[in-house]
Amino acid sequence: MNSITPKHVAIIMDGNGRWAKLNNKTRLEGHRKGVESVRSVIQKSKDLGIKTLTLYTFSKDNWKRPKNEVRGLMQLLHKTLKKEFDNFHRNDIRVSFIGDIHSFPQSICNLISETINTTSNNKSLNLNIALGYSSRQEIVNTTRKIAQEALDGNLNIDQITLDLIADRLENSYLGDPDLLIRTGGEYRISDFLLWQIAYSEIYFTNIYWPEFNESEYLNAISDYQKRERRFGKISEQIT
């Protein structure tokens, strides 16, 4: 039994499109509705004392979606960041991003830079937003960094350890997620934090993201707290 609130929660926010179809809405309306769930989860994370919340907002593979949907998502992202910017800062939330943000429109890149800089000293919650993210690509990029360090003579092969690799990953200072949540009824990881979730507890729910409210979030946290986190050990070693 683990009664401790997770320090780091990561969420794959899935099901906006299917919620929209079920409710005779457009896919973009589903994404807009999903923003409400984002606000709710951010606030509840802060209330619960969770230190880090990582949200899988837009994957590298999402660029493959229909152009009209991608265009609408970019507009929604720009509007949401601009609207929530003051709220993040006012609520002492530090915002960071993970993924290839340089692929996004310049207006969004500018907002991202401004958000990072302005909230950098905030402490109540680390909000880590995955944009244009691919875990496999992150691991490739990390491998290249380490290889270059070795080629430059700044790193010996014997120094390449699990800890060193973890330290070279994006936003490594945030630590690994204790709990990974996926909404929408799918049971896969979808190229998200593959290294970091090696020992994360995973919670799947059939609830579509636009319906993932505070109560559903508390259900996920409660489920996490009922689990025994052994990290390879046996029960007697951790009690």
Q: Is residue 172 part of a domain?
A: no
DSSP state of 182: E
Q: Residue 220: pLDDT above 60?
A: yes
Q: Is residue 157 part of a domain?
A: no
14 counts as catalytic: yes
Q: How far is CA 106 from CA 109, 118, 154, in A?
A: 5, 18, 35
Task: Judge contact between 19 and 94, C-beta under 8 A.
Answer: no
Q: Residue 42: pLDDT above 70?
A: yes
The catalytic residue among 2, 47, 61, 62 is 62
62 counts as catalytic: yes
Q: Is residue 153 part of a domain?
A: no
22: containing domain? 8-134+177-238
Q: Is residue 166 part of a domain?
A: no
Question: Which residues, in sequence order, are bridge partners of residue 54?
Answer: 10, 128
What phi and psi, each to the nearest 5 degrees, are found at residue 127? Answer: -100, 110
Q: How far is CA 119 from CA 162, 201, 202, in A?
A: 31, 29, 29
Residue in 199, 215, 216, 198 with CA at minimum distance from that of residue 207:
216
Q: Is residue 213 part of a domain?
A: yes
Q: Is residue 163 part of a domain?
A: no
Q: Residue 196: pLDDT above 60?
A: yes
Query: What is the pLDDT at residue 86?
Result: 87
Q: Is residue 34 part of a domain?
A: yes
Q: Is residue 167 part of a domain?
A: no
Q: What is the pLDDT of residues 47-62, one digit of tens each?
A: 999 999 999 999 999 9
Q: What is the pLDDT of residues 29-40, one digit of tens each?
A: 999 999 999 999
How many structural domains are present in the chain? 1
Query: What is the pLDDT at residue 232?
Result: 72
- Mean confidence (pLDDT) of the chain: 95
Q: Residue 23: pLDDT above 90?
A: yes
Q: What is the pLDDT of residues 95-117, one digit of tens each?
A: 999 999 999 999 999 999 999 99
Task: Judge contact between 187 and 4, C-beta under 8 A.
Answer: no
Q: What is the CATH number of the domain that holds 78?
A: 3.40.1180.10
**What number is the average pLDDT over the span 70-99?**
94
Q: Distance between CA atoms of 225 and 204, rounded to whole angstroms?
A: 15
Residue in 58, 13, 1 with CA at minimum distance from that of residue 38:
13
